[in-house]
Amino acid sequence: MTPAVSDPLLAAAHTSTTEAFGFWVLAPIAVLAALGMLFVRKAVHSALLLATTMIVLAVFYLAQSGPFLGIVQIVVYTGAVMMLFLFVLMLVGVDSSDSLVETLRGQRLTGLLLALGFGVLVVGALGRSAFDDVTVVGLGTANADGNVEGIARLLFTDYVLAFEVTSALLITAALGAMVLAHRERHTPRKSQRELSEERFRSDEHPGPLPPPGVYARHNAVDFPALLPDGSTSDLSVSRVLVARGDVQDVQPAVETTEQRSIEAGEAPEDVRPGPTQGGRY
């Protein structure tokens, strides 16, 4: 290891102590975040872990004398691409977690074994290659005029055709996304009157949904309302809260109703012991 050179663009030939320290701190974070993507249940958490890995990779690009790529990684990947993922997650619904049912039997185990085998193969091949004979040239001379200038020179001379084709690709992708996301309306839009008549013809409850429960202790939106028979109303809490599992239990309230009716000398026949699910209102 050589002592750290002041100019990071020239320091690329050998890894300095600072770079080694950074690598051993950040690489485990990247691997753990990537592993976490496999095991967390919710897709939003997966997206955040992927963003962590991408930021760590951006730091590694910066450390390997690629400041342009490091910045582009942060702007394009963690900025644009991950935001796009989060927007689609919002459209699709936050409650979209994996089903645990295996459609193909033994697919999980087979996939794990295949991935393990692949990893052993790649890491083994890397371990067998003789890196000790390779002299790391480093980007000191290539980056002599600056990294951005070096990349621009290559991009607009040797790779200019690929660069032009890229523009066609981006336009095609934008058009394709618009065509895929566009929904053609085949029937005329229903007026408010038609919607109202439709609602009264169906056997659904025509009025507004019941509001959440208002109690002496809580009147938050995550408490379902109580029906006259003591059961809770599923319609009074938001569907999103139910999917997240954030709906609070109103068990104590039901018990007090029960106690009051016992104290009044009536048989609590109508009062069900717990909050029942599946009520229509």
Partner 1 sequence: MGVQNYLYLSAILFTIGAAGVLLRRNAIVVFMCVELMLNATNLAFVTFARIHGNLDGQIIAFFVMVVAAAEVVVGLAIIVTIFRTRRSTSVDDANLLKY
- The DSSP code for 213 is P
CB of 99 to partner 1, least distance (A): 6
- Would you say 154 or 214 has its CB closer to partner 1? 154
- Would you say 109 or 220 has its CB closer to partner 1? 109
Q: Applying CB under 8 A, which part among 31-39, 198-206, 212-220, 234-242 lies near partner 1? A: 31-39
Residues in 131-170 at the binding interface with partner 1, rule: CB under 8 A: 131, 134, 136-143, 147, 150-151, 154-155, 159, 162, 166, 169-170
For the chain, the C-alpha Rg in angstroms (whole number) is 30
C-alpha closest to that of 151 among 51, 236, 46, 67:
67
Instruction: Tell me the CB-side half-sphere exposure of residue 187, using CA atoms within 13 A.
Output: 3
For 14-34, b/e burial (b = at least 16 CB within 10 A) is: ebbeebeebbeebeeebeebe
Q: What is the largest CA-CA distance in the chain?
A: 94
CB of 57 to partner 1, least distance (A): 5
Residues in 178-197 at the binding interface with partner 1, rule: CB under 8 A: 180-181, 183
Does position 118 interact with partner 1 (CB under 8 A)? The reply is: yes
The DSSP H or E segment spanning 110 is: helix 107-128
Judged by CB under 8 A, the residue of 9, 50, 74, 253 near partner 1 is 50
Q: Applying CB under 8 A, which part among 106-114, 193-201, 202-210, 250-258 lies near partner 1? A: 106-114
Which SS3 state, helix, strand or coil, does residue 42 take?
A: strand
Does position 111 interact with partner 1 (CB under 8 A)? The reply is: yes
Does position 108 interact with partner 1 (CB under 8 A)? The reply is: yes
Does position 25 interact with partner 1 (CB under 8 A)? The reply is: no
How far is CA 17 from its chain centroid? 35
